[in-house]
Homo-oligomer: A and B are copies of this chain.
Amino acid sequence: MLLDMKVKELATAAGVNPDTVRFYTREGLLKPTRNPDNNYQHYDAEDLRRLRFARKARQLGFSLPEVRQILDQADDHHSPCPMVRDVFQQRLAEVEREIEELQQLRKRMQAALGAWQDMPDGTPDGRTICRLIEHWDDNTPAKHVEE
């Protein structure tokens, strides 16, 4: 292999914290060789690709176990792509759920903010702590049973 990197070099090359490299190594996402002389880890171009891949996958919302699964499948010369397509679709749906939830929240917050314009601050009197929050109407749709 052309590249032979120690932890910090790999970390710098991928733009991550050296501790993340060590963490991923412990977690089995990276498989460096070890120099028996000094016990140092040595990473090659393949590890760099794996690390970059892992970071991209994390940004897309794949969990660490999912990333490891993909990498392991690739190691076994199975194409992980069908699985990736599948998890990716699920993740996209999840992102859309999150967006809707946050939009609901924003709506309620804006409404609360509007209502608060007209409310006095008031000092806590033993009956109320902060009316701003106590009088906030929680319209959260009850938790789904199927979850």
- Residues in A lying within 8 Å of B, measured CB to CB: 46, 49-50, 52-53, 56-57, 59-61, 70-71, 73-75, 77-82, 84-85, 88-89, 91-92, 95-96, 98-99, 102-103, 105-106, 109-110, 112-113, 116, 121-124, 126, 129-134, 136, 138, 140
Contact = CB atoms under 8 A, between A and B. Distances in A.
A83 to B, nearest CB: 9
Nearest to A125: B77
Contacts of A80: 124, 129-130
Give the copy number: 2
B89 A96 contact: no
B136 A56 contact: yes
Contact of A79 (B96, B106, B122): B122
B138 A56 contact: yes
Nearest to A97: B102
Contact of A78 (B85, B113, B123): B123
A102 B93 CA distance: 12
Contacts of A106: 92, 95-96, 99
Nearest to A99: B102
A82 B121 contact: yes
Contacts of A89: 113
Given A99-B103, A109-B60, A85 B116 contact: yes
